[in-house]
Structure 1
Amino acid sequence: MDENKTSEYLLVVMKNLNLIIILFISMLITYCLNGTAQEGSALSFLTSIHKIPVTPWKITVIALGLYGSMMILMQIKSTGSGSLACKVGVEIAVSFGISYLLGFSYTGMMLLILADTMRYLPKAKWKFSAAAVICVFYMMTDYDLISSGFRITSLETYLGYFEGDVCSALLGVKNVLNSLNTLLFLFYIVWLVRIQMSEKERILNLNAQLNTANEELQKANLRLEQYAEESVKMTETRERNRLAREIHDTLGHALTGIITGIEACEMLMDVAPEATKVQLGAIAEVARQGMTDVRRSVKALRPDALEKFNLEEALAQTMEEMRLATNAKIEYRCTTPLKGFNEDEEEIIYRIVQECITNSIRHGKADRITIEIDREYNMLNIRIKDNGIGCKKIEKGFGLHHMDERLRMLQGTLQYSGEDGFLVEAQIPIRWGTEEKKDD
């Protein structure tokens, strides 16, 4: 059973017990008065008391009516409307009226009022104040104290109607009920203290849990800050590598074309001046394009050719520029449309072709390059071979390293061989599926 429900249950038991005690005492008084009147001993009874009692039947009716009023007041008090002090004051006055009717033979209603009031006082100091005030009134309603200043007929006087044994038995029942009410009150107070202690313990546990959670949160924030710092460093490193690749690809490509073109001009200068001028014009165009690409790479943009053209046009342009600048023969065969790719896919295809042409001319001294691009299911295959000097013992340089790195970012693969000229084969997964993406 819930602790709060248990306290409410105890309070209900106290209310019912008080009702039983009031009914028991009021009916005893009524019975004794009626019996005295019927037996003709009323005169002797009146001479033994200090004042004329209330009409017998009215004692029970008024006492029960006043107790019912007290229950209504307690119910109103639970709604929280109005002043609590005023409500408690009215309850004490009603309790005093019931005690007066019963000849102050029972004052346990004060304990019921105190028990009910404790529920609505959140602070301990208010509870102590209310307990002190109600206890003062409880002591003031003691029969011995009241009878010293007022004329009151005691319950023992009324019970004189019965024989000695019966009178003692009835007084014993009344005292047992009174003691039971006191025990219930004490148990109720102890239970309230237990609830308060449990609440404090729960709050302490919650505070401990909150402190633990705050410590864990601080640790998590510290780990997050460390991760953020590491992430920033990794991002900076990746960005530096990306810019290095961009500059290597663009500047290396342009310089290779320029160097090869100048070497051709040196051989043509004396025998074919006009051809030399044409060759120099092509070299100048390659230099200008290379400068544009370098600037765009530094600004973290895509290659200039891909900014101006689609992928097929950009590849055609870079191959034509190298043909004009170096007189190398470049054969290009593509059996699949190069459309529908994402920007990063287009860029890596363009860079692979550009890097391989540059390496073939710069390192392989090739004058014939074959480029083949086809597709098998959802895999794009790029095969580039030259007739250069090749390389039996290949040391992966900057170009091959970053070409491989670019491919791995797209889950692609790279193979190369230098046995007969130089051969590069790249495979790139196509994200948009196994069917070719149709043009709009």
Structure 2
Amino acid sequence: MKQVKGVQYSIILLLLINFLTIIYNGALYIQITNYVISKGQMILLLGELNNISKSPDQIFWYSIIFFVGIIFISTYKMYSTEKKWPIFSKWNLFEIVLMIGVIWSQNLSYNGIILLVFADIFYSSREFQDSDSKRSWIIFIFLSFLMLLLTDYEILSLFIKVPSLSTYIQFYPSSIRGVVLFLENALTSLNVIIFIISLLSYILYVIKEHHNIEEELKMLSRVNTELNHYISLSEKIAEDRERKRIAREIHDTLGHALTGISAGIDAVSVLIDVHPIRAKEQLKNVSNAVREGIKDVRGSLHRLRPGALQNNGLKDALILMISEYESLSKLSVDLKYEWGNIDLDVIQEDTIFRIIQESMTNSVRHGHASKMSIRFMSEDNNIIVLHDNGIGFDDLQIGYGLKQMRERVSILGGSIHFENREGFYTKIVFPKIGGEVYDKGNDCR
């Protein structure tokens, strides 16, 4: 904010100095002309001048009119809601035309206004903030200094005859002439000094801002690295906890059932020759224990399923998961489910659901994607295609998540393929199993 105010103050100061210089030079034309007339030296003045295209009054008022236009444009850009303008916007081009009008009105006696217009356009143009627009501002800088060179009176007077202000000043007495030249040079030098100081200050500010941005990016990179480490650690902890939970489930259900079954079979092997009737009763007990064990295992598997799949089919569960994910992130997902009524068992549904879930997580976390398409197709094989608009990859590193996806797909006898295709592209192929089309009248699950 301080730098923005500093730029505004420097432009205002340059406007003030250039306005004073233009008024000063215009007043000199009028004052010296009146002085020469009063001394009866007008014929001498006309003899010294190469050409007289404008009267002193025209020089004075034309210069002021053109410069007021520059003040209006500069003020409008300074306080406009649009803080940055295209370098070749209509306002900048009009400002350049008015600048040429001022230089022409002053009979080429003053071209320091080029520095003012250059600074005004430089500070207000968006191209100078964008490294991709180097060509535009290099061309502009080159043209600005070329104009500064070509509007020098000593050079241009070789080709165009214009009345020189210095010729007018020569008719003043030497005592007055010294003061007049001192004030003229002081205003010109002050204009150059303020321009250089403001330009250097702005360049240092831009360098500092770029340095601050680089430091912030480095800090964000460090934070992102630490966050990824934390996520990996959290995943490892969650994985260990899940393993322990599954082990407890197996111990409490399947382990208990198998122990009872083993003991029952041992009892049957003893009773079968001695007491066949008791052996049959024991076999019934073993059968009941097996059934109870199966129920417990099914209950454990049900508790391990994703929440969205517990009361929904695969398609509805995916829609629910996508809706929840879109509400929590900036990822927009387009789901096209063309599998129809395919009869999938619990393991197949769980596996496919987890693969889609992992792919969406990777698209956000690693690919920084904003859009993702998921398509389920049924051709010679069952196919799933996932494609996001993220950053993709140059050299794919197979981490824990992708490794788990491959393992899950291989369990179902399928294959998975990853590509860098303007984002991350995944194609999964599952072989069709005979009779997998779902028949609503024969649901045996």
Q: Under TM normalisation by the shorter chain, which class is it?
A: 0.5 to 0.7
Instruction: Go from structure 1 to structure 2 and tell me whether the alpha carbon gap of 1:126 and 1:82 turns closer, same or farther (over 3 Å shift).
Output: closer
Contact 1:77–1:84, Cα closer than 8 Å, also in 2: no
Among residues 128, 144, 162, which one is paired with 1:134 in the alignment? 144
- Residue 294 of structure 2 aligns with which residue? 298
Among residues 116, 121, 144, which one is paired with 1:117 in the alignment? 121
Give the Cα–Cα distance (whole angstroms) in 1 for the partners of residues 244 and 110 of structure 2.
86
Matches within 5 A, 1:229-308: 229-243=239-253, 246-247=256-257, 288=284, 291-300=287-296
Contact 2:26–2:106, Cα closer than 8 Å, also in 1: yes
Task: Return the TM-score normalized by structure 1.
Answer: 0.56
18-27 or 237-246, which deviates more:
237-246
Contact 1:250–1:293, Cα closer than 8 Å, also in 2: yes
SS in 2 for 1:299: helix
Give the Cα–Cα distance (whole angstroms) in 2 for the partners of residues 48 and 163 of structure 1.
17
Matches within 5 A, 1:293-372: 293-300=289-296
Matches within 5 A, 1:406-421: none
Contact 1:107–1:141, Cα closer than 8 Å, also in 2: yes
Which letter does structure 1 place at the counterpart of 2:49? Answer: I
Give the Cα–Cα distance (whole angstroms) in 2 for the partners of residues 111 and 6 of structure 1.
17
- Residue 182 of structure 1 aligns with which residue? 192
Contact 1:23–1:64, Cα closer than 8 Å, also in 2: yes
Give the Cα–Cα distance (whole angstroms) in 2 for the partners of residues 53 and 30 of structure 1.
14
SS in 2 for 1:52: coil
SS in 1 for 2:108: coil
SS in 2 for 1:47: helix
Instruction: Go from structure 1 to structure 2 and tell me whether the alpha carbon gap of 1:103 and 1:35 turns closer, same or farther (over 3 Å shift).
Output: same
Instruction: Go from structure 1 to structure 2 and tell me whether the alpha carbon gap of 1:220 and 1:7 turns closer, same or farther (over 3 Å shift).
Output: same
Instruction: Go from structure 1 to structure 2 and tell me whether the alpha carbon gap of 1:302 and 1:161 turns closer, same or farther (over 3 Å shift).
Output: closer
Instruction: Go from structure 1 to structure 2 and tell me whether the alpha carbon gap of 1:192 and 1:126 turns closer, same or farther (over 3 Å shift).
Output: farther
Give the Cα–Cα distance (whole angstroms) in 1 for the partners of residues 288 and 174 of structure 2.
126
Task: Return the TM-score normalized by structure 2.
Answer: 0.55
* Post-superposition CA distance 1:147-172 (Å, at most 9, x none): 22222222222223432111111111
Which letter does structure 1 place at the counterpart of 2:19? Answer: L
Give the Cα–Cα distance (whole angstroms) in 1 for the partners of residues 146 and 258 of structure 2.
98
Give the Cα–Cα distance (whole angstroms) in 2 for the partners of residues 114 and 103 of structure 1.
20
Which letter does structure 2 place at the counterpart of 1:247? Answer: A
- Residue 208 of structure 1 aligns with which residue? 218
Give the Cα–Cα distance (whole angstroms) in 2 for the partners of residues 87 and 213 of structure 1.
44
Give the Cα–Cα distance (whole angstroms) in 1 for the partners of residues 245 and 70 of structure 2.
77
CA RMSD of aligned residues (A): 3.6
SS in 1 for 2:161: coil
**Percent identity between the aligned chains?**
19
Give the Cα–Cα distance (whole angstroms) in 2 for the partners of residues 117 and 202 of structure 1.
25
Give the Cα–Cα distance (whole angstroms) in 2 for the partners of residues 14 and 33 of structure 1.
29
- Residue 149 of structure 1 aligns with which residue? 159
User: Is residue 2:97 matched to residue 1:101?
Assistant: no
**How many pairs were matched up?**
285
Give the Å deviation of 1:231. 1.7
Give the Cα–Cα distance (whole angstroms) in 2 for the partners of residues 176 and 197 of structure 1.
31
Which letter does structure 2 place at the counterpart of 1:12? Answer: I
Contact 1:34–1:56, Cα closer than 8 Å, also in 2: no
Contact 2:36–2:45, Cα closer than 8 Å, also in 1: yes
Which letter does structure 2 place at the counterpart of 1:213? Answer: V
Give the Å deviation of 1:246. 4.8
Give the Å deviation of 1:286. 9.0
Which letter does structure 2 place at the counterpart of 1:292? Answer: N
Give the Cα–Cα distance (whole angstroms) in 1 for the partners of residues 117 and 30 of structure 2.
26
Give the Cα–Cα distance (whole angstroms) in 1 for the partners of residues 76 and 142 of structure 2.
23
SS in 2 for 1:50: coil
Give the Å deviation of 1:140. 0.5
Instruction: Go from structure 1 to structure 2 and tell me whether the alpha carbon gap of 1:240 and 1:111 turns closer, same or farther (over 3 Å shift).
Output: same
Instruction: Go from structure 1 to structure 2 and tell me whether the alpha carbon gap of 1:83 and 1:209 turns closer, same or farther (over 3 Å shift).
Output: closer
- Residue 340 of structure 1 aligns with which residue? none
Which letter does structure 1 place at the counterpart of 2:120? Answer: D
Q: Unaligned 5+ residue runs, structure 1?
A: 270-279, 304-440
- Residue 56 of structure 2 aligns with which residue? 56
Give the Cα–Cα distance (whole angstroms) in 1 for the partners of residues 6 and 85 of structure 2.
25
245-254 or 24-33, which deviates more:
245-254
